[in-house]
């Protein structure tokens, strides 16, 4: 084993699920020694035809207790990594860094009663990991998952989201979760229409959740498009909802995607 090889393991893909022409998920085996907290990410490597390896960071969709790893990806036209990744099929290998990274985890918050998870696109991934774990259901009285996509056809993982409170280990917490899908480029049944920032500004997001954003009780996690995160953080700061830092616990935690 070379010096570089001792930093990753080679895992085997068991499933590739296509959600839309631009969205897909990969499920692979998990090294017994790989540990992570819900909300963290791993560096994935794909070997190109010339033998070189391209690496990118992907949040785990799977829960920390699962025996497999799952990742959610967008196809970037001409993208060096996703074009290689999207060609993979069951039986192919995927390189996974031995160490998990990231701070979009529940220990960013020292208190709080309501947890808001605001995702755009593949930024949904870490929230699915968090929602399949025990801790979030035990800690918070209410959980609001906001998932923004361009079209209804790009709202992935709907069966999993709608079935969360029916999972055997979570059934006792049924009633805590409010799911609010958002579609930005079309009107769709049972979906809010518009960007997260517009719905926050108008108050429509809080009305739909039946819950108000308040610094003393609300905690928010943002993941997805960097512009969405920047604009949303600005709106939240105006309402005294501040970024949570090691030296200064706050109400907001973020993870930028691409």
* 1, pLDDT greater than 90: no
Domain, as residue range, for 53: 5-97
- The CA–CA distances, whole Å, from 141 to 72, 211, 220 equal 28, 12, 14
- Sign of the torsion formed by the C-alpha atoms of 155, 256, 247 and 63: positive
Joined together, the tokens standing for residue 59 give 């949040």
Distance CA 258, CA 141 (A): 32
b/e string for 232-243 if b means 16 or more Cβ within 10 A? bbeebeeeebeb
- The verdict on 210 and 227 lying in the same domain is yes
CA 197 to chain centroid, in Å, comes to: 18
- The verdict on 171 and 115 lying in the same domain is yes
What would the pLDDT profile of 156-200 be if each residue is shown by its tens digit? 999 999 999 999 999 999 999 999 999 999 999 999 999 999 999
- The verdict on 76 and 154 lying in the same domain is no
End-of-domain residue from the set 34, 65, 97: 97
Report whether 113 contacts 217 (CB < 8 A): yes
Helix or strand run (H / E) with residue 199? helix 196-202
Distance CA 85, CA 58 (A): 12
CA angle 109, 122, 218 (to 5 degrees): 25
Helix (H, G, I), strand (E, B) or coil at 187: coil
Q: What pLDDT is attached to residue 246?
A: 83
- The verdict on 131 and 247 lying in the same domain is yes
* 134, pLDDT greater than 60: yes
Distance CA 66, CA 64 (A): 6
pLDDT band at 79 (very low <50, low <70, confident <90, very high): confident
Q: Specify the number of domains making up the chain.
A: 2
- The verdict on 88 and 216 lying in the same domain is no
pLDDT band at 3 (very low <50, low <70, confident <90, very high): very low
Q: Please measure the distance between the N-terminal and C-terminal CA atoms of the chain and give it in whole angstroms.
A: 32
Joined together, the tokens standing for residue 187 give 């009107």
- The verdict on 110 and 237 lying in the same domain is yes
Rounded average pLDDT over 17-30? 96
CATH of the domain at 48: 2.40.30.10
- The verdict on 246 and 129 lying in the same domain is yes
Look over the chain and give the mean of its residue pLDDT values, rounded to a whole number: 95
- The verdict on 62 and 139 lying in the same domain is no
Q: What pLDDT is attached to residue 94?
A: 97
Q: What pLDDT is attached to residue 77?
A: 86
- The verdict on 161 and 115 lying in the same domain is yes
pLDDT band at 48 (very low <50, low <70, confident <90, very high): confident
């Amino acid at each position: 084993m070379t010096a570089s090889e001792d930093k990753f393991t080679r895992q085997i893909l068991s499933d590739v699920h296509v959600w839309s022409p631009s969205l897909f998920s990969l499920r692979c085996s998990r090294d017994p020694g790989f540990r992570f907290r819900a909300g963290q990410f791993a560096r994935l490597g794909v070997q190109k035809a010339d033998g070189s390896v391209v690496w990118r960071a992907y949040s785990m969709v799977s829960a920390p207790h699962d025996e497999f790893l799952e990742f959610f990806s967008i196809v970037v036209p001409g993208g060096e990594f996703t074009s290689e990744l999207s060609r993979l099929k069951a039986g192919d290998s995927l390189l996974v860094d031995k160490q998990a990274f990231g701070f979009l985890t529940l220990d960013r918050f020292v208190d709080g009663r309501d947890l808001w998870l605001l995702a755009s696109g593949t930024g949904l991934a870490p929230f699915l990991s968090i929602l399949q774990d025990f801790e979030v259901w035990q800690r918070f009285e209410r959980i609001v998952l906001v998932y923004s996509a361009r079209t209804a056809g790009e709202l992935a993982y709907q069966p999993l989201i709608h079935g969360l409170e029916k999972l055997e280990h979570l059934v006792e917490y049924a009633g805590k979760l409010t799911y609010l899908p958002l579609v930005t480029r079309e009107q769709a049944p049972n979906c809010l229409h518009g960007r997260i920032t517009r719905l926050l500004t108008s108050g429509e997001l809080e009305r739909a959740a039946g819950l108000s954003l308040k610094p003393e009780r609300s905690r928010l996690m943002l993941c997805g498009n960097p512009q969405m995160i920047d604009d949303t953080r600005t709106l939240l700061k105006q309402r005294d909802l501040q970024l949570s830092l090691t030296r200064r616990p706050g109400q907001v935690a973020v993870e930028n995607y691409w």
